[in-house]
Structure 1
Amino acid sequence: MSDTHFSKPLIYMLIGSAIILALSLGVRHAFGLYLVPMSDEFGWGHNVFSLAIAMQNLIWGAVQPITGALADKYGSKIVVAAGGALYTIGLLLMAVSSTGLLLNLSAGLILGLALSATSFPILLSAVGRAAHPEKRSLAMGIASAAGSFGQFIMLPSTLLLLQKFGWSSALVVSAILIALIIPLAWMLKAPMYVSPTSSTNETSLSFKQILKLAWEHKPFWFLALGFLVCGFQVVFIGIHLPGYLIDHGFNATTGTIFLALVGLFNIVGTYTAGWLGGKYSKPKLLMGLYGLRGIAIIAFLLLPLSTWTIYAFGIIMGLLWLSTVPLTNGIVANMFGVKYLSMLSGIVFFTHQVGSFFGGWLGGVNHDMTGNYNAVWMFSIALSIFGVLVHFFVNEENVIND
């Protein structure tokens, strides 16, 4: 079998990663559907739920480099299994959260820790380590697309559960599904790919040496700044667009279909981004993605709001949604190799989650203060411009072998 084909252990890992991401991200992307029913039942402003989700994203990002370092040292399967257990506990506690404090503990702290062990940085790094360099971007794109399929399936399923049984029962059912991650983690067993012609520099570098190289490498930090834009935009839209549509006279089903369309078309977007990343400059592709996001948001705000423009926006944003993930992780792997990929991807992901924190929280604050989301929409457009500009300073050159 050629090196450029997927090995059987890698195929098994891809299947396991795909199902885990589908479950983990599918449940997580449906959190926006709980904002209105939980806020209405307990008399909260939108800022209470928004703060808990914002805290989740910030904690997720803050501990991601640590979780990544643990996965690099002890293996992905142990870390992912532990994350699945925490995720289950967090959802069960969220199901009985009747105060802002309990919501911050469950949806914020526990689920933030759990997501750091069951989402992209850990699973894509495991896939990236096992894949041939020429197929790495494509393998990451396939695994990323699976998370989107989970979003497509889980959103309408969650809405149905909410309508039939209420938000608390919906969270219990989600917890039962998430518990499946624990046994699935044992599919993550493919060995690291070692090229017969590769330099020994990467494998000989210590943890401290690779951190020093990353700290001094400016394109790495420009890449991280670009990922902040992604986090802000996807969490703001994912959490607040259903509420935005309700404000404009649409029902909860419209917002759910929007988010499901994002998930469906993100399957195409992430796979295509991974495939293109193996053929073209990843920084230039990222510039295009962030530019197109800004154009899509401007068009959505300027056109008359209707079911068709909402769904068209969902399709376009779906194509652009998480297409940044395989490209960004692929650039990190090209810069520093794959030995410490989980930890280094975790550092970049932290800035993504700083953006996610502000996207989730400021959306709620803006709405409570003004009754609309206008200021945050404008800021999202400005961030798209920033995302294009910052990737001018990113390259994919290997730092270790230079």
Structure 2
Amino acid sequence: MSRSTSRTIMYGALIVILSMGIRQSFGLYLQPITQALAVGRETFGLAIALQNLCFGLVQPLVGLLADRIGPQRVLAAGGLLYALGLVLTAHSGSALALNLSLGATIGLALSASTYVVVLGVVARLVAAGQRGMAFGIITAAGSFGMFALVPIAQALTEAFGWQHSLELLALLVVGISLLAFGFSAETGDHPSHAQGLDLSVAFRCARSHRGYWLLNCGFFVCGFHVAFIATHYQAYLVDRGLSPELGANALALIGLANIFGCLVFGKLGDLTRRKFLLSGLYISRTFLMLALILLPMTSVTALGFSLLIGFLWLATVPLTSGIVAQIFGVRSLSTLYGIVFLSHQLGAFLGAWLGGRVFDLTGSYTGVWVIAMGLGLLATLLHLPINDKPLVLDPAGKIG
């Protein structure tokens, strides 16, 4: 791996640490914001749901822009918009303002400052046999951001109040725009950057590829799980008698555990069939959620769940993006994976919003845990029939 490649991976990892670490801290603000605005949890859940929806809806377009004009401009713009969204959130005085700031503005910013853009660059720079591990490193960086920045956000909130803590995080996130220029201006220094179908052919093939749509459905489930837990888990633990500090530590532990999960599953994805790993991952999530709602709630239960679910948390990212690259090549990966990521964010919209809606109606999150388990079983089955063989076109441009 060349020096420029290593440097690009390092800068990409730092960008994802900031963008995903701050994003995963938003659940800490559920209770202080709903109390300050005198609204229910559904209102906050809807803002996070809108954030996920905006994050996903524009992701294919952002991926296309990154493929066409380069990642530096896209990432720099995303970092500045992210900072603006945090400042606006800190000064939201109504549910509408919260939806526009925490929801729409930050959602658009995330689409330009996270995995799709960064992974598209990395895919062009590394050999196919090293791609899974490289994807795992980038994904693990996001998990490290969750581990490092969630406690920082909690400490800032306790020291300065929730509004000033968001303003301080806004100063931090400007670093994304500065780090963006550490990316190599080249499209790639490894011959694999030219591998794969060009955009128009890849898009045509993807539309008719059954496995591609099964991946979309499976990633929908991942989005539901991750958004529901990230948004509501701390509040769920507090409702069951644990402290807010322990809830923050539980979220941070998810990020710590997933550092190892991403690296392990990224490496395993280079050695065995990724679709089987994904099926095993989703069924494991399902049993963990069942154990959480059945066992007595103690600090050991909460942190044990965090440790185990964290190992599986974003391990779906190197596996799912790896299958897309495996089937279609890397030339149009940002665009094709951006579409799959849209499905993830649709699931995230439902998970974040439904958690608040069900709680406000019933006073409990149990119904959402049951839905999450049902979706986990469905995702387990959806990945098994995926045809993950690389596409080969005959001279006439048809799939061979």
TM band (smaller chain): over 0.9
Structure 1 position 191, deviation (Å): 3.6
> Contact (CA 8 Å) 2:46, 2:353: kept in 1 or not?
yes
Matched, 1:167 2:159: no
Residue aligning to 1:112: 107
SS of equivalent residue, structure 2 residue 112: helix
2:268 to 276, 287, 298: 276
CA RMSD of aligned residues (A): 1.3
Query: Does the 8 Å contact 2:195/2:329 carry over to 1?
Result: no
- 1:79-106 Cα shifts (integer Å, max 9, x gaps): 1111011101111111101111111111
Does structure 1 conserve the Cα–Cα contact (< 8 Å) formed by 2:78 and 2:109? yes
How far apart are the structure 2 equivalents of 1:328 and 1:25? 18
Task: Answer yes or no: is 1:186 the counterpart of 2:178.
Answer: no
Aligned partner of 1:220 in structure 2 is 212
Distance 1:400 1:369 in 2: 52
Contact 1:132 1:193 in 2 (8 A): no
Equivalent position amino acid for 1:192 in 2: G
Q: Which residue does 2:235 correspond to in 1? A: 243
Secondary structure in 2 matching 1:278:
helix
Inter-partner Cα distance in structure 1 for 2:28 and 2:255 = 15
Amino acid corresponding to residue 220 of structure 1 in structure 2 = Y
CA deviation map 1:293-316 (0-9, x unaligned)? 001111111111100010000000
**Normalised by the size of structure 2, how large is the TM-score?**
0.96
Question: Could you say which residue in structure 2 is the equivalent of 1:20?
Answer: 15
TM-score by length of 1: 0.95
Structure 2 counterpart SS, 1:202: coil
1:62 aligns with 2:57: yes
Query: Is the CA contact (8 Å cut-off) linking 2:37 and 2:95 kept in structure 1?
Result: no
User: What one-letter code is carried by the residue in structure 2 that aligns with 1:248?
Assistant: R
How far residue 201 of structure 1 moved from its aligned partner, in angstroms, is 7.8
Which residue in 2 is equivalent to 1:202? 196
- 2:280 corresponds, among 288, 291, 294, to 288
Q: Distance in 1 between matches of 2:325 and 2:306?
A: 31
Matched position secondary structure for 2:384: helix
Report how far residue 148 of structure 1 moved. Answer: 0.7
In 1, distance between residues paired with 2:214 and 2:378?
11
Query: 1:157 is matched with which residue?
Result: 152
Aligned to 2:316: 324
Letter of the structure 1 residue corresponding to residue 333 of structure 2:
L
Q: Distance in 1 between matches of 2:200 and 2:314?
A: 31
Match of 1:3 in 2: none
**Structure 2 counterpart of 1:294, one-letter code:** T
Alpha-carbon distance in 1 for matches of 2:137, 2:190 = 21
> How many pairs are equivalent?
393
Alignment partners' CA distance in 2, 1:111 and 1:201: 34
Q: CA deviation at 1:193?
A: 5.0
In structure 1, the residue matched to 2:33 is 38
Query: Is 1:96 aligned to 2:91, yes or no?
Result: yes
Please name the residue that 1:144 is paired with: 139
State the 1:42 CA deviation.
1.6
User: Which residue in 1 is equivalent to 2:334?
Assistant: 342
Q: Does 1:265 align with 2:257?
A: yes
| Amino acid corresponding to residue 372 of structure 2 in structure 1 | S
Partners of 1:368 and 1:400 in 2: CA distance: 51
**Do the aligned partners of 1:201 and 1:400 also contact (CA within 8 Å) in 2?**
no
Q: 1:211 & 1:143 partners in 2: Cα distance?
A: 25
**Pairwise CA distance, 1:76:** 1.1
- Percent of aligned pairs with the same residue? 42
Find the counterpart in structure 2 of residue 254 from structure 1. 246
Separation in 2 of the partners of 1:379 and 1:116? 27
- CA–CA distance in 2 between the matches of 1:202 and 1:249? 53
Contact 1:30-1:151 at 8 Å conserved across structures: yes
**More deviation, 209-218/57-66:** 209-218
Q: Which blocks of at least 5 consecutive residues in structure 1 are unaligned? A: 1-5
What secondary structure does 1:397 align onto? coil
Could you tell me which of 357, 361, 365 is aligned with 2:353?
361
Describe the SS at the equivalent of 1:78. Answer: helix
Q: Secondary structure at the match of 2:364?
A: coil
CA distance in 1, matches of 2:382, 2:19: 30
Q: Distance in 1 between matches of 2:35 and 2:80?
A: 30
Counterparts of 1:63 and 1:134 in 2: how far apart (Å)? 30
SS in structure 1 at match of 2:271: coil
CA distance in 2, matches of 1:195, 1:174: 39
User: Which residue does the alignment assign to 2:293?
Assistant: 301
Structure 2: tracts of 5 or more residues without a match: 394-399
Deviation at 1:400, TM superposition (A): 3.8
Q: In 2, Cα distance between the equivalents of 1:54 and 1:170?
A: 22
In 1: Cα distance, 2:338 partner to 2:210 partner: 17
* Cross-structure match for 1:83: 78
Instruction: Provide the rounded CA distance (Å) in 2 between the counterparts of 1:288 and 1:368.
Output: 33
